[in-house]
């Protein structure tokens, strides 16, 4: 029983809960910008990209995070946008 | 050639002062001239952790205000050749020293010491600004708790903004038994989130409480797991490549074994 519990529980052990909560909190801490500002960026990105592809506007996710620069591995802030594409627009074909 | 290193964390109570004391002792043991500065004006503590509280005559505010000469403000630790303490003032507050004065003080000390180690107060206000003003390198201490890691992240951002790039991380008070159960963030989890280089990991260890009770840095306790970890950290600061302490060696098992064999 304990064994089964262990196997099934892997995802919601308290460490993973902490990690996920922390990640979410840090996104906002790091950004140091209002959610409205992120919404504005999001809106502009949608407008530009929509000319070329049809995107899932509901699923778009824009966030501030930290990453490492490839050349020398120093940590730098990064703007990461996850944009689900539904399909490419025809005008790209010609 | 000398280096000014600030030990900081944002959150209080994660082990900055203990870390400062042990790194100071470790660097001195290796033959360096080291001064540890308590920058926590109003809440001085590095003196008691080092067991030097009875020898304070002057403090950092006296030195900055030229009430005494720099050398008069320094307390020599008789147990560690080359280790000195510049204590904080207990009756003043953080505004008694300015970042400019702190910068000058660090520059003066650099001429006499190989390492200047600054114990930064908790928080991000003037005490923090003072503590980092003269530093060239920063060490961020955190524990595997959500609040400590969050504050560490904030501090890393502030350090970067002040031009203190590439701070190094010390993860303090890790409990391998809880990590194994999945009830505590592990080393990789925290490095992944904070995205800075790891300087060392210190296990949660009773010997820290005991050594602090006595006012003796734990680094001198050869039987202490945490002492070994601080010793490794000091060596890494000196440029040696030392592998991370094997946390899977169960410390309680070791001490049980020791009790069994030596009856101690």
Nearest CA in chain A to B157: A30
Contact by Cβ (8 Å): B34, B117: yes
Best of B185, B190, B197 to disrupt the A interface (most A CBs within 10 Å) is B185
For residues B3 and A36, what is the distance between their CA atoms, to the nearest angstrom? Answer: 43
Sequential pLDDT tens for chain B (264 residues): 799 999 999 999 999 999 999 999 999 999 999 999 999 999 999 999 999 999 999 999 999 999 999 999 999 999 999 999 999 999 998 899 999 999 999 999 999 999 999 999 999 999 999 999 999 999 999 999 999 999 999 999 999 999 999 999 999 999 999 999 999 999 999 999 999 999 999 999 999 999 999 999 999 998 999 999 999 999 999 999 999 988 887 555 666 666 667 665
Domain residue ranges in chain A: 33-94
Distance of residue B159 Cα from the nearest chain A Cα, in angstroms = 12
- Residue B155's closest chain A neighbor by CA? A30
User: Does the beta-carbon distance from A75 to B195 stay under 8 Å?
Assistant: yes
Start-end of H helices in chain A: 2-9, 14-31, 35-49
Distance separating alpha carbons of residues A45 and B217, to the nearest angstrom:
56
The count of domains in chain B is 1
| Backbone phi and psi for residue A16, each to the nearest 5 degrees, phi listed first | -70, -35
Angle, helix B99-110 to helix B126-133, in steps of 10 degrees: 30
Q: What number of other Cβ atoms are within 10 A of residue B89's Cβ?
A: 22
pTM for the structure as a whole: 0.81
Residue range of the domain that includes B85: 3-262
Residues B16-39 as b/e (b if ≥16 CB within 10 A, e otherwise) read bbbbbbbbbbbbbbbebbbbbbbb
pLDDT at A1 > cutoff 50: no
Find the CATH number of the domain harbouring B126: 3.40.50.300
């Amino acid at each position: 029983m304990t064994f089964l519990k262990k196997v099934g529980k892997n995802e919601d052990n308290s460490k993973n809960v902490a990690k996920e909560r922390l990640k979410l909190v840090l996104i906002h801490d790091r950004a140091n910008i209002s959610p409205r500002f992120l919404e504005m960026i999001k809106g502009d990105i949608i407008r530009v990209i929509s000319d070329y592809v049809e995107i899932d506007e509901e699923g778009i996710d824009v966030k501030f995070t930290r990453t490492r620069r490839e050349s020398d591995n120093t940590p730098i802030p990064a703007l990461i946008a996850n944009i689900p594409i539904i399909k490419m627009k025809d005008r790209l074909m010609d | 050639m000398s280096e000014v290193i600030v030990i900081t964390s944002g959150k209080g109570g994660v082990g900055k002062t203990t870390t400062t004391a042990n790194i100071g002792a470790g660097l001195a043991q290796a033959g360096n001239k080291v001064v540890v500065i308590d920058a926590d004006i109003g809440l001085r503590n590095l003196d008691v952790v080092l067991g030097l509280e009875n020898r304070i005559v002057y403090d950092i505010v006296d030195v900055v205000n030229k009430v005494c000469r720099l050398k008069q403000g320094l307390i020599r630790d008789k147990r560690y050749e080359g280790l000195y303490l510049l204590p904080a003032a207990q009756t003043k507050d953080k505004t008694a020293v300015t970042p400019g004065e702190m910068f000058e003080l660090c520059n003066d000390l650099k001429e006499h010491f190989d390492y200047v180690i600054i114990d930064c107060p908790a928080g991000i206000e003037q005490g923090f600004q003072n503590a980092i003003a003269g530093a060239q390198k920063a060490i961020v201490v955190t524990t595997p708790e959500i609040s400590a890691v969050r504050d560490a992240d904030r501090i890393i951002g502030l350090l970067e903004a002040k031009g203190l790039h590439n701070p190094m991380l010390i993860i303090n008070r890790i409990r391998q038994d809880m990590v194994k159960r999945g009830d505590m963030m592990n080393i990789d989890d925290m490095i992944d989130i904070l995205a800075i280089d790891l300087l060392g990991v210190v296990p949660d260890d009773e010997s820290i409480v005991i050594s602090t009770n006595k006012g003796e840095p734990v680094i001198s306790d050869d039987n202490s797991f945490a002492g070994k970890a601080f010793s490794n950290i000091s060596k890494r600061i000196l440029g040696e490549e030392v592998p991370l302490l094997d946390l899977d060696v169960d410390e309680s098992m070791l001490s049980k074994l020791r009790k069994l064999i030596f009856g101690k």
